[in-house]
Chains A and B, each alone.
Chain A
Amino acid sequence: MKRAPSRRRALLALVIGPLLCGLLLAGGLTAVWLAAGSPRPAAGAVWMEVTRLGGARHLAGPQQPFFALVLGTGARSDDPSQSPDDPGLADAIHVVGINPALNAATLLDIPRDTEGPTGNKLNSYVVSGGANGLRAEADAVSAVTGVPITFVIRANFPHFQQMVDEIGGIDINIPTAMDDDFSGAHFVPGPIHLDGEHALQFARDRHSFANGDLSRSSNQGLLVLAALQTLQKRGTSAGETVRLIATLGRHVKLDGIGIADLFQVGRLALSFDAANIKNVVLPVGSGGGSNLVKSGDAASLLADFADDGVLQSH
């Protein structure tokens, strides 16, 4: 009876001693572990973390507003002898004003029958200018619009069609019904994906509209904007822009710009929000014969356009 407490003490010592040591050891090891290194989250663990995200972009090339002339001709070939029906008149005439600082641009669509500085239709200077046709056309358009043309891009029918096919087509929202056997355009209003052949039909159709070439010019500007948006959706990395510019370069004739500079302009254009690009038709009225002349509204619009390439009040 008297030895029982002693045995209990020994038993307690055997149980509690190791327990205490274990607790102290665990606490110490935990302290060392936590102090020595950041605990890494286990897979699936949620950690509070603040993230800062930023982007930066710098584009080379022009920093000031500039103007480019985009022409579409009806020539069926680069060789005039192979295109007897159309020597290459510029049936699509667009002056693009680009303002890099504002990330904005304007597409000024000029009806082909607009009278040029010598009284001829504006679409004819590219042909009458011979070997310097692109520069002659640029000078004529510059005289009509009052803006200096930095460079010219020209595509004919087959190259336009091939180019659209090579970039994978264009997504566009057809604004009004089109039903024209001359161009082959038969479209209902709404979104559609156009391949090269159908894009050309859309761009050529003027018989579906009461105001003929004016609506056609507007639609051509719409097609350019749609192409830009389509390309932006597919990706606008530098490498992808190389592919695009190489494709463009294979199918157009350039004046006043080299491929490297065109690449920089392409990067710039692809960075624009389409909402910052206006598409307007030069206001025109009837002139002598079948010529069209600038209407009274044109002067203020062109002044607005010429100062920085962007229409602020139109």
Chain B
Amino acid sequence: MQEAPPGPQTGPQTPGPQTPRRRWLVIAISGTVVAVVALVLALTLGGGSDRAPSAHRTVTTTAPVGDHVSIVLGNVSADSVGPPVTITPQQSQQVLDLVDRYVKEATVVPLRSGQPVTGDLSTVFDPAALAKITGADRAIALDEGLPRVTGDLDVVANPVNIVGLGDQGNVVVLTASFEVDMTGPTHVKGPPLHIERRVDFVLSPDAAGAWRVTSYDMVVTRAGAGLDPTTTTASPSTSTPSSSKPATSAPATTKSKK
């Protein structure tokens, strides 16, 4: 077999005797190995992580106050024992404000902070309902103790449907039904945290005439973010889903930036 003579034709990487083909082969195999290793590393270390890279997570250390959640009005109607009654725009707005405050203080803020709820819910619930919300039903009614949302929190809220009960020309009971769907990435590997909340509120005026939630019925579904399959929410009462349908109008979508 004839050796390749040294000379300018072979360039600076003049191969050693009988090695050029083998060297290229080695380079090709090495490159492939490097590429495969890089791919495997990427799948092992990076696969399934949430949307926020570690660099971003370290930046997000505090939950912003003032997350805006768009709660809009759906169908408003009333039925009465006596003369027909009408729910005023002010009454509807009061109900919307209560729902907005609940969604924000009970869910959005704790999801952002990863801390227990500290907001004042006494302006939403009457004392008896508040005691239950912050007591026996706490794990269901409040989104605390869950992985902190580190990225954008997508909030989709169906319009709030209001029904009033009238007696002797006055609205004596209001009901508000709504659904809120929230999705946000956390530091936990796997799918993002996803919470669906279907709520029926019953409101009555307190002694000062301010509407307060006196009864509630809620069904909450939480998924993703590595929720422990052995941990099930304990409910002391029924979990029968309400059959009420959301309003036909389009849901309001809010992207809550971190």
Contacts and interface: CB of A to CB of B under 8 A. Distances in A.
B232 interface: yes
A237 B223 contact: no
A56 B218 contact: yes
B239 to A, nearest CB: 3
A5 B84 CA distance: 100
Contacts of B244: 235, 237-240
* Residue among B46, B48, B224 with most chain A CB within 10 A: B46
A60 B27 contact: no
A38 B4 contact: no
A99 to B, nearest CB: 14
Interface stretch (B95-103, B199-207, B249-257): B199-207
A238 B217 contact: yes
Contact of A238 (B15, B24, B129, B163): B163
- Interface size of A as a range: 35 or more
Interface stretch (A22-30, A75-83, A175-183, A277-285): A22-30
Contacts of A241: 175
A3 B8 CA distance: 12
A31 interface: yes
Q: Interface size bucket, B side?
A: 35 or more
Contacts, number: 245
A239 B237 CA distance: 20
A142 B222 CA distance: 50
B71 interface: no
B interface secondary structure, majority = mixed
A54 B214 CA distance: 20
Nearest to B168: A259
Contacts of A238: 163, 175-177, 200-202, 215, 217, 242, 244
A245 B24 CA distance: 87
A204 interface: no
A245 to B, nearest CB: 6
Given A49-B191, A51-B221, A51-B223, 4 more contacts: A23-B35, A26-B39, A38-B192, A56-B237
15 contacts: A6-B9, A26-B35, A39-B47, A53-B219, A54-B220, A55-B241, A57-B235, A60-B214, A235-B243, A237-B200, A239-B177, A239-B244, A240-B243, A242-B164, A267-B215
Interface of B: 2, 4-5, 9-10, 15, 20-21, 24, 27-28, 31-32, 34-39, 41-43, 45-51, 53, 79-81, 126, 128-129, 132-133, 136-137, 139-141, 161, 163-167, 172-173, 175-177, 185, 190-192, 200-202, 204, 214-224, 226-229, 231-244
